[in-house]
Structure 1
Amino acid sequence: MKQLHVISNGKLPYERFLSIVESIHPYVSAIHLREKRASDTELDQWIQGMIHKGIPKQKIIINSRSELAGRYKLGGVHLPAHYGSLQEIKQKYPFLKVGVSVHQLSEALYYQETGADYLFFGNVYETTCKPGLAGKGLETLSAIITSVSIPVIAIGGVIPARVPELFEQGASGMAVMSGIMEAKDPLEAVKDYQAYHIQKEV
C-alpha cells in the first residue's frame, strides 16, 4: 500500500488546521506538523489538540522537535537534509521513526547509512512552495529509489494526475502540502489523490 503524507503549511490558524486533520486522518498515512515559527509550547497545544480530535499518535510526525515527538510517543520526527548525524535521536528515542528530507543521491545514501527509516525526496516537480526552483525530475527520483533500500516519498509539485508516474518510478508514496492544506475542500482533495492511487494499485 502506497503512503500519503500530508504536511502543515505554517499558515493555517490552529482551529482550521484541527478541523482539516480531523476530517482527513482516516484516509492518510501521516500528518506532519511543519510549523517552523511555532514555539514548543504552541506545538504542544497543537499535538494535544490533534490527539483530542482522535488522530492516532502513530500518524502524527513532527518536524525537527524530537523532544516533543519523544515525549508524546508520536509516529516520528522528520528532519532537514543538513541535520547531520541521527545517532543521538535514534539512541534516545529508539521507538521513533526518523525521516529526512533529501535533495540528491549523496544525501540519501548518507542518511540511509546513519539510520533513517524513510526519505522525502524533492522537489520532484516545480512547486508554488518554492517558486522559480526547477523540479529535480523523475530520473533523479528513480536513481535515488534504486540506490537505497528504505522507503522514498516523493514531494514537491505533486498533483493527483502525477501520482501514477511517481509510483511507476518506485516511490513508496507521496507528500502533499498546499494541494491539500490550501484546497477549498481538503477531504475531497485527499480523495482525489487516493483515486489515482487506487487506479494504479488495481
Structure 2
Amino acid sequence: MKLIAVTDDSHSVEELASIIIQIKDVVDYVHIRERTKTCSEIISLLNLLKEGNVMMEKIVLNDRLDVALLMNIANVQLPGHSLPSKDVKEKFPTIQVGRSVHSIEEAKQAEREKADYVLYGHCYETNCKKGKAPNGINNLIEMKKELQIPVYAIGGITPDLVKEIRQAKADGIAVMSGIFSSSDPLASAIQFYERCLEQQ
C-alpha cells in the first residue's frame, strides 16, 4: 500500500518544509493541504522543498490548480466543492486529479468525471472531524468492489489500523495528525511506512 502524508495547516512554512524534507524518503506522496496559507506562501514552501531535494513528483496540491500549473506540479487533490475533475482533465490532461469523497455515490461520480483516484474518509474517529461520525470501513470495502480507480483511506488512521485497511483492499492510506502532529514526524512516518509494506 502507498503512504500519503497530508499536511495539517498548523505549522509555519519553514517548519513544514523541515518536516517534509525529513520524511521525503519514506512517503509516496505529500499532500499539501494548507487552507489558511496564501499562494505566495505555498510557492515559498515548494521552493524550500526543491532546495531540500524533495521530488516534485511526490507533491500533491490541495485545491490549488493555479499554483500547480505555475510550479509544474503534476498532482492536485480536489475537494467536493472544487472544480469539476472532468473539466480539469479535459484542459490539463497531464495533471493527475484526486477527488475527496465521503460515500460510494460520490466515489462513483468522481470516477465518471475522470478522476484518477479518490480519497475516502473519514474512516475512523479523528480530532480533525470532531462531532462527526466516521464513515466507516464497510463503505471502503464496497468502494473497492465498485470502482476501477485507486481508493485511498483517510481519517483517524493509526499504525494498528493499517492491517484492517489493507484487508479492505485499499490502495493506500493518507495520514495527517499521525505524522504532522507527532513529536517525531520521521519516526512516525517510518512506523506507518513499515506497516504499509507488510503483506498480511
TM-score normalized with structure 2 length: 0.96
Task: Give unmatched runs, 5+ long, in structure 2.
Answer: none
- Residue 4 of structure 1 corresponds to 3
- Residue 51 of structure 1 corresponds to 50
- Residue 111 of structure 1 corresponds to 110
Q: Which amino acid aligns with 1:105?
A: I
1:23-63 residue CA offsets vs partner (Å, 9 max, x unmatched): 10111010011111111111111111111111101001111
- Residue 176 of structure 1 corresponds to 175
The answer to whether the Cα contact below 8 Å between 1:78 and 1:101 also exists between their aligned partners in 2 is yes
- Residue 15 of structure 1 corresponds to 14
Q: Which amino acid aligns with 1:187?
A: L
Q: Which amino acid aligns with 1:123?
A: H
Secondary structure of 1:26's counterpart equals: coil
- Residue 163 of structure 2 corresponds to 164
In the aligned structure 2, how far is the partner of 1:65 from the partner of 1:18? 18
The answer to whether the Cα contact below 8 Å between 1:20 and 1:186 also exists between their aligned partners in 2 is yes
In the aligned structure 2, how far is the partner of 1:13 from the partner of 1:84? 27
1:59-108 residue CA offsets vs partner (Å, 9 max, x unmatched): 01111111211222213000112335223311232211100110011110
- Residue 190 of structure 2 corresponds to 191
Q: Does 1:120 align with 2:119?
A: yes
- Residue 146 of structure 1 corresponds to 145
Q: Which amino acid aligns with 1:64?
A: D
In the aligned structure 2, how far is the partner of 1:28 from the partner of 1:183? 15
TM-score normalized with structure 1 length: 0.95
Task: Give unmatched runs, 5+ long, in structure 1.
Answer: none
- Residue 90 of structure 2 corresponds to 91
Equivalence map 1:51-70=2 (5 Å): 51-70=50-69
Secondary structure of 1:124's counterpart equals: coil
The answer to whether the Cα contact below 8 Å between 1:81 and 1:103 also exists between their aligned partners in 2 is no
The answer to whether the Cα contact below 8 Å between 2:31 and 2:60 also exists between their aligned partners in 1 is yes
Q: Which amino acid aligns with 2:95?
A: L
1:175-196 residue CA offsets vs partner (Å, 9 max, x unmatched): 0001000101001001111222
RMSD value, Cα? 1.2
- What is the percent sequence identity of the aligned residues? 31
In the aligned structure 2, how far is the partner of 1:44 from the partner of 1:84? 21
Secondary structure of 1:43's counterpart equals: helix
- Residue 135 of structure 1 corresponds to 134
In the aligned structure 1, how far is the partner of 2:87 from the partner of 2:195? 39
- Residue 29 of structure 1 corresponds to 28
The answer to whether the Cα contact below 8 Å between 1:73 and 1:96 also exists between their aligned partners in 2 is no
In the aligned structure 1, how far is the partner of 2:3 from the partner of 2:193? 8
Q: Which amino acid aligns with 1:13?
A: S
The answer to whether the Cα contact below 8 Å between 2:6 and 2:33 also exists between their aligned partners in 1 is yes
Secondary structure of 2:124's counterpart equals: coil
